[in-house]
Amino acid sequence: MICRACGIGGEEKAATFSASEGEEFLATELGLHGSSVPKEASEIAALVGYEKHALMIIGGMVCPISSKRRAWGWSELKDYVLSIRHEIFPSFT
């Protein structure tokens, strides 16, 4: 999804939001209607390029629908996204 958000690797650029739209969309995915997202959520949204599908997945990981799935913490999720970015972009720090 990161490749799609950035339009690299032959991937067609996916639906992305501006920063404010992306954070508003993520807030909706998290059930935070009318309030802002935590700072960590803003950082993660920026890391995935405010790509719609990535934000939907993030929302599902933080607030899973199924009680059988555990919720991810923000720091754990940020580390996960950074590890994926590092796999795709080895020079990314």
pLDDT digits (tens, 9 = 90+) for 35-91: 789 999 999 999 999 999 999 999 999 999 888 999 999 999 999 999 998 888 887
| Residue 29: C-alpha distances to residues 11, 16, 53, 64 (Å) | 25, 15, 11, 10
- Phi/psi of residue 16, nearest 5 degrees: -125, 160
Provide the pLDDT for residue 88.
Answer: 82
Comparing C-alpha atoms, which of 6, 2, 15 is closest to residue 83? 2
